[in-house]
Structure 1
Amino acid sequence: MKGTTLYSSSIPIFVSALLFHIARTQSSRSPRQDILRGLLNGTGLLYDARVPPNFEENVATDVSVQIYVMSFDSLTEISMEYRLSIFLRMNWTDPRLVWNNSDIHGPLEVDPKLVGMIWAPDLYFLNEKEAIIHDVTVMNNLMHIYEDGTIHTSTRISMTLSCDMHLERYPHDEQTCSIFAGSYSYSKENVILQWHRYPLQMRPTLTLPRFTVMGHNTIDCEIVDYGEQSMINAGNFSCIQANFFLRRQFGYYIAQVYIPSILIVVLSWVSFWIDIDAIPARVSLGLLTVLAITTQSTGEKSGLPRVSYIKAIDLWMAVCLMFVFMALLEFSYVNVQCRVQKRRQETILIEASTNTDEPRNGKERNDLDLQPRSGRRFVFFRDRMKVQRARFVDKCARVVFPLLFFLFNICYWLYYQQ
């Protein structure tokens, strides 16, 4: 009987201890989950992610944007585009998500699967051609909710953007490539985009293959509705703009374009030192240099768009082609002058040989008959003058061609490097 009484009195104690343990477990289970569950599905009206934070109050939501550039791929001139890998960070305040718990220090970290349950700005890039949000191994999307309702998001994006390039000074050019971002469906009455206090950050060790980033700036802009001809005919929209100032590195073009073309031009001058009678050697050298400079020009232009203006590289290659072609024309002139004199000598020798074999009045001609007459003597002297003139042209070309090419280089580099 005594044992039964002891057993009966221990049951309430055990039940109380069990209930206390369950209550303690529930209270310490996960207050963060409870707060998040209460914010999204709590008492009163349910949270609607389709409605902006201050929609009913008719107050625009200020969205702060920051971009961290992880990689900056080289520009593509032929398609006028460039590729970026960035972390897109946004901050805004949603009064519906205000919470308070003294036991929690720091923000609520929202799982990427729940990000779609919270309203976020519909940011898009106006000059974007294609883009992806990285999803290895999970969707690269971060969201934190602070006590005062401030929301911080970060998304990893890789995208290809258009860049309007001006190639008149290519490859001595500097380009400005921009990022334009705006809200697609919310006008400035509901969403206002503005840059963060530190708007644009770049990875310290970031480098580009053929460009140097000279600097960057940011601008707050606005897409204005001018009627049917405006880009977005649905009101005024807030937008932001970031500009990258790029300078093309010159080492690649020195090694791959300018030095080879200079050597080809210099090689074409070798024909001025080759003997005038070495026709096959001079013809081969002239044709090879013309073909070489033409092939190099074609290969360099293959990676550039077909624009209607003259680029710096076009001027350089055209002048180099002109120099090697003029060297070939110089040989043509010299060769013609020499061939006239040779043909004249052959004609005189043939006539003299024919007249020697034929007797005149039954007598053999003496040596005096083989001498050229006065008219032929003048022609022969004139032909020899042509040969001397041709040799003189070769000597002049040895000086004039390098001098003119040197003067062109001075003008070219002073103009495009200023």
Structure 2
Amino acid sequence: MLASLDLSGRCVVLGVTGSIAAYKAAPLVRQLKKAGAEVQVLMTPDAERFVTPLTLGTLSEGEVLTEIFPENEEGSWTKHVTLGQWADLFVVAPATAQTVAKLAHGFCDSMLTATALSARCPLLVCPAMDRDMYRHAATQDNLDRLQEIGYEVMPAAHGELASGLVGQGRMPEPEEILGRVAEVLAETEPTEAPGDLPLAGHDVLVTAGPTREPIDPARVLTNPSTGTMGYALAEAAAARGASVTLVTGPTALSPPPDVEVVSVRTAEEMNEAVQARGTDADYVFMAAAVADYTPADPSTSKRKKRDEDLVLHLRQTPDILKTLGAHRRPDQVLVGFALETDDALENARHKLDEKNLDWIVVNDPTEEGAGFGSSTNRVTLLHPDGASEDLPRMPKAEVAEALLDRVLTAHHDPGT
């Protein structure tokens, strides 16, 4: 059966870790290549104690990568992201107890673990370790956690181990792993080629983060937005081939790769940046938490703490999205965000109509795991046809992917 496997055109990342079973990676690479797969080998530094990068590089017909920033690679600082998009399947064989723990808890200290965090494809883990390490409650908890995350885990095989003990802990044989690889790939679509990315050739504008409205040189009116949702949207759109401009208020986040970043501070500055760029954008995602009011007469010097009560006169800031909606192109897609604590859907539908939007994303900051300062979000999408869709609580990166999926399904013409 395995001799007739056809994996032509499928892209496999093989992660090799520091187990004596690493020698089995050589025949696994050979069999993957014989079946027609493209193979990129990633090794942890300890794996090089058991099998050389030269051996696996020769068999895979490519350079083996270990460090997060490989010296000989163009665009090395985002190589893990590129590989995460390229792969149809990520296989870790052998997977030591150390690597299993790192994968289960999101560690990112090698090219292998960084790529695993970036990968959108299925991930197949093949444990290999001594009997009592495999039996240990911590290891079993980590393997369970990997399955909860969505990874595939092949149970370790029973037999004689390098320590001389006999028990469960052996890495499955390359033929067994190859068979499981074929089964997983049969259930998944090939990764899209860069030219087939759904947003290739399209301009996307995303806003993110808070604005800061000055009271005086030392004080501002602002909100707790971290910018995480907008940054996730910008990164996800860029990964789908878009030319992305991110207009962002002050955040502590690193700029997403392959994204043009325009930094602003106030609502007025954000309005100027968005209106200047919004006309040309095919898709606009307004995820920023823009202040509704700003001090009418900010002081040019620090206000002294003299009065028990301080009265500030505030004026409305520009309605950025309403202005965009009033001057939008017929083929432009506008997506707004609404943070509501009361009558959420009713208020959001009013904003959808008033601001001439196609979609609006609604969330409640008082709900656990939603809103400001959380790595997750729980949102409701209001569709163009008036329907609403509740998404479960999930990481904001996954919310971004789900939103892009819905918007592109409804609006994107593959022929454009």
Considering only CA atoms, is the larger Rg found in Structure 1 or Structure 2? 1
More helix by share: 1
Higher relative contact order (CA 8 A, sep 6+): 1
TM-score, normalised via structure 1 length? 0.23
